[in-house]
Amino acid sequence: MSFKHYGSRKSGSVGWLLQRITGIFLIFAMVGHYILMHYTPETGHSYEQSIARFSNVYWKMFYLTFITLGLWHGLNGIWSILRDFKMKSWLAITLYGIIVISGFAFWVLGVSTALKF
Partner 1 sequence: MKVTLRIFRFNPETDSEPYYKDYEIEADPKDRVIDVLHYIKNEIDGTLTFRRSCLHGICGSDGMRINGKNMLACSILLQDLGYSDANKTYKKPIVIEPLPGMPIIKDLVTDFTDFWKKYEAVKPYLITKSPPPERERLQSPEDVELIMEASKCILCACCTTSCPSTWSNEDYLGPAALLKAYRFIFDSRDEATDERLDIIDTPNGIWRCHTIFHCVQACPKEINITWHISKLKQKLVEREI
Residues engaged in binding partner 1 (CB under 8 A) = 1-17, 80, 83-86
Torsion sign, CA atoms 53, 30, 70, 91 = negative
* Between 53 and 83, CB nearer to partner 1: 83
Q: Provide the minimum distance between the beta carbon of 54 and partner 1 in the complex, in angstroms, as a whole number.
A: 35
* Between 18 and 64, CB nearer to partner 1: 18
Q: Provide the minimum distance between the beta carbon of 10 and partner 1 in the complex, in angstroms, as a whole number.
A: 5
Q: How far apart are CA 110 and CA 66, in angstroms?
A: 10
* Between 7 and 41, CB nearer to partner 1: 7
Q: How far apart are CA 69 and CA 66, in angstroms?
A: 5
Q: Hey, what's the torsion of the CAs at 90, 95, 100, 101, to 10 degrees?
A: 90
Burial of 22 (0-12, 13-18, 19+ CB in 10 A): buried
Q: Provide the minimum distance between the beta carbon of 24 and partner 1 in the complex, in angstroms, as a whole number.
A: 15
Q: Provide the minimum distance between the beta carbon of 65 and partner 1 in the complex, in angstroms, as a whole number.
A: 21
* Between 8 and 112, CB nearer to partner 1: 8
